[in-house]
Amino acid sequence: MTQDAGLKYDPEFAAIARRIHDSVGRQGFMAHVGAELSDLARGSCTLAVDRRPELLQQHGLFHGGVTAFLVDNATTIAAATSRGQPALTAEYKLNLLSPASGDRLICRARVIKPGRQVAVVAADVFCVIDGTEKHTATALASIAMLSGEVTAGITSPA
């Protein structure tokens, strides 16, 4: 599925997708890590990052913090797409299943239960080794859905 796949079936999603792309584009940490928003549809998000020495731990594997960042951001973005409102991570449980080696790390998040106040979102992380995906982590997140009143009072440096 491409970034615009959700737009064919959900024309109202176009405005939501634009806001999310703009918001993600202002995230300095996304740029710092070199992560990209590779797929966006209502209730789902895929983020990916290519292997770079700065993202590896001492054994040459992707650092667990990179995996955690992808989960944190992808689950929040997926929740925001489901209702078209801002969202913020409340908590997540991350299980690291196997070492994350390879050339690329991919996180696919999908909303399990949308909600007005809290959305439940699952994510799976894969590393790409010689063109084959290997499942390296799985997570379940509770995402707080924010109201316009809450976000209006927040000034962002981004």
pLDDT in tens, 26-35: 899 999 999 9
pLDDT tens-digit map of 6-58: 445 677 888 889 999 998 888 999 999 999 999 999 999 999 999 999 999 99
Q: Does 91 map to a domain?
A: yes
Its domain, for residue 125, covers 5-152
Number of structural domains found in the chain: 1
Per-chain mean pLDDT for the chain: 90
The rounded percent of the chain whose pLDDT value lies above 70 is: 87
Residue 48: name the closest of 26, 33, 58 by CA: 33
Q: 75, 81 in Cβ contact below 8 A?
A: no
Q: Does 158 map to a domain?
A: no
- pLDDT at position 155 is 60
Q: Does 68 map to a domain?
A: yes
Q: Which amino acid is at 83?
A: R
The arithmetic mean of pLDDT across residues 81-101, rounded, is: 94
CATH of the domain at 29: 3.10.129.10
Q: 28, 71 in Cβ contact below 8 A?
A: no
